[in-house]
Amino acid sequence: MSDAKKIVLAEDNSILLLLLKFQLEKEGYKLLIAVNGKEAVDLIEAHNPDLILTDIMMPFISGLEVISHVRNKLNLKTPIIVFSSAGQEEMVLKAFDLGATDFMSKPLSPNELVIRIKKLFR
Amino acid sequence: MNETYYFIEYFKQSPPIIQVAWIFSAVFSVFIIPLIIYLNYLRWHLRKNEIVVAKYQAEYEQALVHYLYSGNEEEEISSEQQLIIDKLKKCILTPFKRKIVISTLLKLKNEISGEVAQSIEKLYCQSGLIDYTLPKLTSKKWYTLAKGIRELRQFQVKEAHDQVAKHINHPRRQVRKEMQLYMVNLFYFEGLDFLNVLKTPLSEWDQIQLLEVLQRFDNQKIPNITSWLNSSNDSVVVFVLKLAKIYNQFEQKEVLIDMLNHKNKDIVVEVISVLCHLEVFEAKEVLKNTFEQRTQEEQIAIFKLMENLYEINDEPFLLDYIYHENFEIKVSALKILKSINSYKFNFLKSSSSESEFLQIAHFIENN
């Protein structure tokens, strides 16, 4: 288990967080969960994860600010997948400008997310 | 006693303004103190309620995720799933807990697609929640009815089609809107059949919502819209004209040309716009021949159409309108003339002394 890839998952929807945690842990990843952007930043700084999954709209610090912090303050190249909702197309473009690796629009398929993660780690 | 006596004496001897101030203070105290106590109680009650809701929500979230991941390929419902279903069945007996269960299911359903979303829809039926929703469709309270239809749409319950369809012409707009969204979300273009019997107006907002839903689907095969174009409900015609434009219904060109004689002039303007979009050149000749009998809005729309569909033989027609009293028609006629015959345009410009005409000509040249 010590070789398990570490993933920081930042999502303010508690049940989606629970579901993704369950699914990704089942796939053998080590999940570090955050319910807002601030917690996500703290987890990233403390654990240096292999992947970051973040929602765009979150309390305290948004997903965009998380990306900016990772890329510009911490200077990390950790892959970042962004979750966006309908009508957040401009935010997705901003996320890519800031250095996001990929995005998934909600409603999202957990199985598709697993496939994308596996592809990123390949 | 002495203090009371002293206070009464002080009050009696005080100037009237002070007496009024004391009376007001007393009256306000009588109202404000109980109000503060009530607000404190309300806050305490709401916080307590929030804690209870959060506790149940966390419990149901765990149960739902457990349900979603405890299935197997051999059985339709595994024994673990059945235990969760039984537990939920007990919980939903009380309306308070039922509401939390529904909000928990929706909280995940709105964020998830694919197999997981379908499992949630299945759980909605298996847990018996649907049995509490279906009776809402016969409720006399419009908001209960609207909420019932919305819930059936959110959980994709197609079986309630006939019961929902009964409310096509419900007097309340909110109920009609929910009915329309149910039909289109669950049955796509086939759901638009309600347009055949819709007697009430379809508002601009309703139309936008329906179009937004329709454009989300992968299958963009639109049914025959001829009967809707001939609908006696003008709002239905306006909506279907939008469909004709978005889905490039070129095969409807004969019907659209016939509609140029529609009694509603706003619809005629819309029809001209659709014909322009579909580039139906035959319509231009019909419109040119009836130009003088048309309203000014229609005439402006005709020139907009001609800006898109002009031909060299339009020149004589255009020359009749380059000095038209309406500014938009005049600009449009000159713009098309410049595209068809720039020599003629330059000649008219150099021979004219009218300042407004020259200004328009300069504007067209520079844009």
Residue A42 lies in a domain: yes
Q: What is the CATH number of the domain that holds A58?
A: 3.40.50.2300
Residue A100 lies in a domain: yes
CB contact under 8 A, B111 and A107: yes
Q: How many CB pairs under 8 A join A and B?
A: 51
Residue A87 lies in a domain: yes
Domain enclosing residue A104, as ranges? 6-121
Q: Which pTM value belongs to this model?
A: 0.83
Residue A58 lies in a domain: yes
CA distance B55 to chain A (A): 13
pLDDT at position A2:
59
Give chain A's domain count: 1
Q: Which residue of B has its CA nearest to A13?
A: B107
SS3 content of chain A, % helix, strand, coil (to 5): 45, 20, 35
pLDDT at position B68:
93
Lowest mean pLDDT among B75-89, B128-142, B209-223, B252-266: B209-223
Residue A64 lies in a domain: yes
List the one residue out of A106, A17, A24, A19 whose CA is nearest residue B119: A19
Higher pLDDT, A54 or B6: A54
Q: Which of A15, A23, A26 sits opposite B108 (nearest CB)?
A: A15
Mean of the pLDDT values across residues B159-175?
A: 95
Mean of the pLDDT values across residues B328-338?
A: 92
Distances (CA, A) of A8 to A31, A102, A118, B213, B340: 6, 15, 15, 34, 64
Residue A56 lies in a domain: yes
CB contact under 8 A, A19 and B117: no
CB contact under 8 A, A107 and B112: yes
Burial class (CB in 10 A: 0-12, 13-18, 19+), A51: buried
Contact B117/A at CB under 8 A:
yes
Q: Which of B57, B58, B117 sits opposite A107 (nearest CB)?
A: B117
ipTM over 0.85: yes
CB contact under 8 A, B107 and A26: no
Tokens found for residue B323: 């000095």
Higher pLDDT, B221 or A63: A63
Nearest 5°: CA angle at B300, between B294 and B303?
105
Report yes or no: B67 and B77 within 8 Å, Cβ to Cβ: no
pLDDT at position B216:
84
Collapse the DSSP code of B218 into the 3-class scheme (helix H, G, I; strand E, B; otherwise coil) and give the result. coil
Nearest 5°: CA angle at B70, between B64 and B71?
110
Q: Is the pLDDT of residue A103 over 90?
A: yes
Measured between beta carbons, the chain A residues lying within 8 angstroms of B107 are: 13-16
CB contact under 8 A, A112 and B114: yes
Contact B340/A at CB under 8 A:
no
pLDDT at position A108:
93
pLDDT at position B72:
81
pLDDT at position B1:
62
Mean of the pLDDT values across residues B321-334?
A: 91
Lowest mean pLDDT among A5-19, B46-60, B346-360: B346-360
Residue A1 lies in a domain: no
Q: Is the pLDDT of residue A1 over 60?
A: no
